[in-house]
Amino acid sequence: MQNSERVGFASKLGAILAAAGSAVGLGNVWRFPYETGNHGGAAFILIYLGCVFLFGLPIMIAEFTIGRRAKASTGEAFKKLAPGTAWKYVGYMGVLTGFLILGYYSVVSGWTLEYIFQSATGNLLGKSADDFVAMFNEFSQNPWRPLIWLVVFVALTHIIVVKGVQAGIERASKIMMPMLFILIVLLAVCAVMLPGAVKGLEFLLKPDFSKITSDAVLGAMGQAFFSLSLGMGCLSTYASYFNRDTRLGYTAMSVCVIGTCISILSGFIIFPAAFSVGIQPDAGPSLIFITLPNVFQQAFGAVPLFACISAILFYILLALAALTSTISLHEVPTAFLHEKFGFTRSRAAWLVTTGSLIIGVVSSLALGDWNDVRIAGMNLFDALDFLTAKIMLPVAGMFVAIFVSWKLDQKKVREEVTNWGTLRAPYYPLLIFLLRYLTPIGILLVFVNELGWL
Ligand code: PHE
């Protein structure tokens, strides 16, 4: 049943774009700036880059290897490649993580819809920085409004997931990704030219190593995993749809580079703008929603129509980038339920949609009425983000590295990385070294360090 129903990506470019579509999303434009702001700027970014290329890139190739080899979604892939072992729990954990992230990620995705609405109705025009802060607070604390957008967003995701892999994901990614990229570059140029932007540039480019705490390192690692969609079998599920001549190393490198560029460019929009209007860089999850409207206002305010149109376009593209990520988050548990329990795709999708709505509602209310429900000092939204991004993703990533480099037959791994001997892949020994030693030990050290055992 499994193989007969599997469809592939129509082109190699489609495969890359779909993986990049999963990776690029709110993680780059929303989460990266606020984590960078929370942890003091440039020095955090350097550690982040280290995490992307030393942990993220090899683990991404490892996930691709697992997915394409097993030709199954992540939950089943480990079972197929290592039958009768406990490795399947790494896959199951990925399914659970994807499901949890989908819940709170959809809340923020819903916010982008509110901002499309606000910009389309002209409400972002003629306001001051303080007005934007008030506007966001009022919105996020309103018990209904964010929930309505949440439902709309989850419904959109549901529809695309049910339509199937090729038709939905591939077609969407091809058009949206390049457009988003161009607009982000444009906005970065505008933000850098705002009065007082220099301070923001300094924040981004001048590392202050005294800001590097164990928290910052854990944050950078979590951000790398979150932003690259690693550690939850998302990319391995996509790789199960790759065909035999998709180049795994090249695809992984492209995704890492595209994702990193968009994150850094987003920093170049947010921080110059934030310093220019006096918003603190450590404002947290609200950071881009209170900063960005200022860019439209200040840079294009003289021509209101232009300000309006550019804001609408940006929020639409951001919503679409979020959508390609929620699709991939949704796909993991849906494919799992479909393949493991034999549910139809549509019924599997309904179960995932209902569950993620419940998590979404709870995390949305956690920013308003339920803000005083706390776990380890965090509201439920932040706690969920902490648990998934900073713990579950890196732990699963570590196991993925160990699985591919120690457990899988190395002949099979080499076959996947070199496309059955048709590619040279001179980096292969380095890849295996990183996966065997550096990556798992590095991730472990970050945890140990955070717990204060060092
Ligand atoms: N990487 C996505 C982003 O940056 C979020 C995501 C995480 C998607 C994990 C899939 C899996 O927005």
Top pLDDT among 303 and 347 is at 347
Top pLDDT among 61 and 10 is at 61
CA-nearest residue for atom 11, ligand 1, is 229
Confidence label for 19 from pLDDT (cuts 50, 70 and 90): confident
Q: Is the pLDDT of residue 33 over 60?
A: yes
- How high is the pLDDT of residue 2? 40
Residues 382-397 have pLDDT tens digits of 999 999 999 999 999 9
- Residues within 6 Å of ligand 1 by CB: 22-23, 25-28, 101, 226-227, 229, 232, 234, 325, 328-329
DSSP state for residue 233 in the 8-state scheme: S
- Looking at the CA of residue 228, tell me the nearest atom of ligand 1: 1
- How high is the pLDDT of residue 169? 58
Q: Is the pLDDT of residue 411 over 60?
A: yes
- According to DSSP, the residues that pair with 374 across neighbouring strands are 379
Confidence label for 177 from pLDDT (cuts 50, 70 and 90): confident
Hey, which of 153, 325, 336 would you mutate to test ligand 1's pocket, going by the most ligand atoms within 8 Å of its Cβ?
Answer: 325
Q: Where are the domains of the chain?
A: 2-27+56-171+210-257+321-450
- Mean pLDDT, range 158-169, rounded to an integer: 72
- In degrees, rounded to 5, the angle at the alpha carbon of residue 266 between the alpha carbons of residues 229 and 195 is 165
Of 30-44, 45-59, 97-111, 274-288, the range with the lowest mean pLDDT is 274-288
Q: Is the pLDDT of residue 5 over 60?
A: no
Q: Is the pLDDT of residue 44 over 50?
A: yes
Q: How far is the CA of 191 from the centre of ligand 1 (A)?
A: 25
- Mean pLDDT, range 318-328, rounded to an integer: 91
Q: Is the pLDDT of residue 7 over 50?
A: yes
- According to DSSP, the residues that pair with 375 across neighbouring strands are 378
- How high is the pLDDT of residue 3? 41
Hey, which of 328, 393, 400 would you mutate to test ligand 1's pocket, going by the most ligand atoms within 8 Å of its Cβ?
Answer: 328
Q: What percent of the chain has pLDDT over 90?
A: 70
Confidence label for 339 from pLDDT (cuts 50, 70 and 90): confident
- How high is the pLDDT of residue 238? 85
Residues 364-384 have pLDDT tens digits of 999 988 989 999 889 999 999
Highest averaged pLDDT of the listed ranges 76-80, 190-194, 329-333, 358-362: 358-362
Confidence label for 241 from pLDDT (cuts 50, 70 and 90): confident
- Mean pLDDT, range 309-315, rounded to an integer: 89
Q: How far is the CA of 238 from the centre of ligand 1 (A)?
A: 13
Confidence label for 47 from pLDDT (cuts 50, 70 and 90): very high
Tell me, letter by letter, the H, E, C secondary structure of 114-175: HHHHHHHCCCCCCCCHHHHHHHHHHHHHCCCHHHHHHHHHHHHHHHHHHHCHHHHHHHHHHH
Top pLDDT among 2 and 412 is at 412
- In degrees, rounded to 5, the angle at the alpha carbon of residue 164 between the alpha carbons of residues 160 and 165 is 100
Contacting residues for 353 by C-beta, under 8 A, at least 6 apart: 154, 155, 157, 158, 330
Q: How far is the CA of 151 from the centre of ligand 1 (A)?
A: 19
Highest averaged pLDDT of the listed ranges 16-25, 177-186, 256-265: 256-265
